Amino acid sequence: MPHDVHWLPAHGAQLEVELILRPPRHGTCTVMLRASPDGSEVTVLRYNSQTATLTLDRRRSSLAGDVWRDAHHAPLALHNDEPLALRIFLDASLIEVFANERRSITSRIYPTRPDSMGIAICADEAAVDLLAGRVWEMAGIW
């Protein structure tokens, strides 16, 4: 069960999100994207300090039965005391994640619920420190 879930005041389907986090030394920290209030629909971005792996988990990103439910992984070793610096772009069904200017993950998500717009930060075992965070709403292409 996540520890200290912190919902950000921003929400939406078309956002640019910039987060600088200090993940726990052992365990994982999580950014929940396009999350419904009850958590039934959510795309999970997770950093595991022990395995030095960034994961974009789409297993609960949609309630639709005909979408892919998988996870994308990228190695990301942080240097001593280096924070996790994330730049995330959400544009309707597209998600792009850039981590520490060294790794990126791009995928498609298909949330079905109109209230799947939330963003939250949490850790599995210990608190995660949010050092900085900014969110911008992006205009639609049309």
The CA distances from residue 127 to 52, 58, 122, 137, in Å, are 18, 24, 7, 27
Q: Mind listing the pLDDT tens digit for each residue in 28-64?
A: 999 999 999 998 999 999 999 999 999 999 999 999 9
At 57 the three-state DSSP class reads strand
- Domain borders along the chain are 3-137
Helix, strand, coil tally for the chain in percent (to 5): 0, 55, 45
Per-residue pLDDT tens listing for the chain (142 residues):
455 788 888 889 999 999 999 998 888 999 999 999 998 999 999 999 999 999 999 999 999 989 988 999 999 999 988 999 999 999 989 999 999 999 999 999 999 999 999 999 987 777 788 899 999 988 876 6
Domain 3-137 bears CATH identifier 2.60.120.560: yes
- Predicted pLDDT of residue 141: 66
Would you say 44 and 60 are in contact if contact means Cβ atoms under 8 Å apart?
yes
Q: Is the four-CA dihedral 40, 70, 50, 95 of positive or negative sign?
A: negative
DSSP secondary structure code for residue 60 in this structure: T
∠ CA 16-97-89, rounded to 5°: 20
Relative to beta strand 129-137, strand 14-22 is: antiparallel
End-to-end CA distance of the chain: 40
Determine the Cα–Cα distance for residues 138 and 109; give it in Å rounded to an integer: 17
- Predicted pLDDT of residue 2: 56
b/e per residue, 38-58, with b = 16+ CB within 10 A? eeebbbbbbbbbeeebbbbbb
- Predicted pLDDT of residue 1: 41
